[in-house]
Amino acid sequence: MAEELGATVGKVFLVGAGPGDPGLITVRGLRLLQQADVVIYDHLVDERLLAEVPRAAELIYVGKLASQHTLRQSEINILLVVKAQEGKRVVRLKGGDPFVFGRGGEEAQVLAGSGIPFEVVPGVTSAIAAPAYAGIPVTHRAHASSFAVITGHEDPTKPTSRLDWEKLATGVDTLICLMGAQNLTHIVAQLLRHGRAPETPIALVRWGTWPTQETLVGTLADIVELAAARQYGAPAIAIVGEVVRLRDTIQWLDNRSPVE
Ligand code: SAH
């Protein structure tokens, strides 16, 4: 119909790029990149993935750092709609999984509301991949039957929190906290205040799955001090729980044989 009217609407693909290592994008995600007319991508997307995009395609960086927003979310939403209305195949490439703290849900709402056809291509989230690359399984039959993924980016001065710390602190075995690098002190304080034991192990994984990956292990009692001494900044995730101890025996990244 649209074609008869001379206005072919394109399509937007909300694609998860994976956590960093370019080998962790999905097969479908990679194929879509290779056929894209426009790629709108974020901070934390590896250059090697962008090398897969056809030469003629338009690449638009809308990366967001906590400190500096290149484009506001509302502007990104408009860009998606406009490019699709031009009849383009638009890949919206987002770090990790598009629906895990990536505002992909909001982008999908805007597309649905504007009548733009879209598809979602899930990705490997850093919430699970970064621990895995650090030798930490988020569940384990003997140590953890549940895990929760939370944002650490809440403003600590806000009087009310969307996070129910009382339940989270002791209600799940493994707690995975994204975007918490600047708020580590607050997060650890909340967990301790609400009953998680000070000797609980915690790992911070920075640049998980990237060649620069680093892991720091401590306990709730000492991690704040350890992280401050190492100037541990973003992008990092925190993993809290007994599973962190398994890293001692199953970390593999640093022991990889040359044959990969
Ligand atoms: N949608 C993404 C998360 C976006 S929020 C996903 O599914 O992974 C951005 C936060 O994710 C960062 O502040 C950091 O906490 C975490 N993050 C993303 N990539 C990471 C990586 N490679 N290593 C460690 N943390 C990462």
Encode pLDDT of 59-111 as tens digits. 999 986 545 555 788 899 999 999 999 999 999 999 999 999 989 999 999 99
From the CB of 130, is ligand 1 less than 6 Å away?
yes
Stated pTM of the model: 0.92
Query: Is 234 touching ligand 1 by the criterion CB < 6 Å?
Result: yes
104 Cα nearest atom in ligand 1:
1
Catalytic residue among 37, 42, 46, 97: 42
Beta bridge partners of 140: 144
CA distance 20 to 195: 34
How close is the Cα of 36 to the center of ligand 1, in Å?
24
Does residue 172 line the site of ligand 1, with CB under 6 A? Answer: no
pLDDT score recorded for residue 208: 96
> For the chain, which residues score pLDDT lower than 50?
1-4, 66
| 179 part of the active site | yes
CATH of region 126-255:
3.30.950.10
Active-site residue flag, 64: yes
Which residue in this structure is represented by tokens 């690098």? 181
pLDDT score recorded for residue 3: 45
Q: Is the CB of 174 under 6 A from ligand 1?
A: no
Strands (E), the chain: 11-16, 38-41, 58-61, 89-94, 118-121, 147-151, 174-178, 201-206, 214-219, 236-240
| 37 catalytic per annotation | no
H or E segment and range at residue 193: helix 184-193
How many angstroms separate the alpha carbon of residue 141 from the centre of ligand 1?
26
Give the CA angle between residues 41, 42, 44 to the nearest 5°: 125
Q: Where are the domains of the chain?
A: 3-121, 126-255
Cβ of 208 closer than 6 Å to ligand 1, yes or no, is yes
| CATH number for the domain whose boundaries are 3-121 | 3.40.1010.10
Supply φ then ψ for residue 225, to 5 degrees: -65, -45
> Does 179 contact ligand 1 (Cβ within 6 A)?
yes
Q: What is the DSSP letter of 146?
A: -
CA distance 178 to 128: 11
Which pLDDT score is estimated for 70?
A: 58
Of ligand 1's listed atoms, the one at least distance from the Cα of 124 is: 7
